[in-house]
Amino acid sequence: MAESAWQEVECAAAFIARDSPRYASALTEEAVFAARSLRTFPNRGRKIPESDDPEIRELFVKTLPFDLSIEPRRVLIVAFIHGAREFRTILTQELLDLRSSLTPF
């Protein structure tokens, strides 16, 4: 999981914990479980509607999506979105740009 994605999980959990520490803890536990499940089921989740690339997917934890980049030897969790929908469109383009600049294994 990209460090920035985990920071987004922690940020969301901290915000939720102000009202419900139990729900915040459950969010964190489910995020870890979802991330680990990608080892066995790397194609979990759905294609992001804003992208034509089937290798950019999203996996929901509670009602919040992880954005994934499926690569030949790994699945990279690049973001945990809990902001505005417009942010997702920008992020999707950044993901496409990032993937095109990566060196293959």
Where residue 22 falls among pLDDT bands split at 50, 70, 90? very high
Contacts of 15 (CB under 8 A, 6+ apart): none
| Most confidently modeled range among 35-49, 61-75, 76-90 | 35-49
46 contacts 4 by C-beta, under 8 angstroms: no
Ranges of H-type helices in 1-102: 3-17, 21-37, 85-101
For residues 77 and 25, what is the distance between their CA atoms, to the nearest angstrom?
20
Which pLDDT score is estimated for 93?
Answer: 63
Contacts of 32 (CB under 8 A, 6+ apart): none
pTM to 2 decimals?
0.67
Which pLDDT score is estimated for 29?
Answer: 93
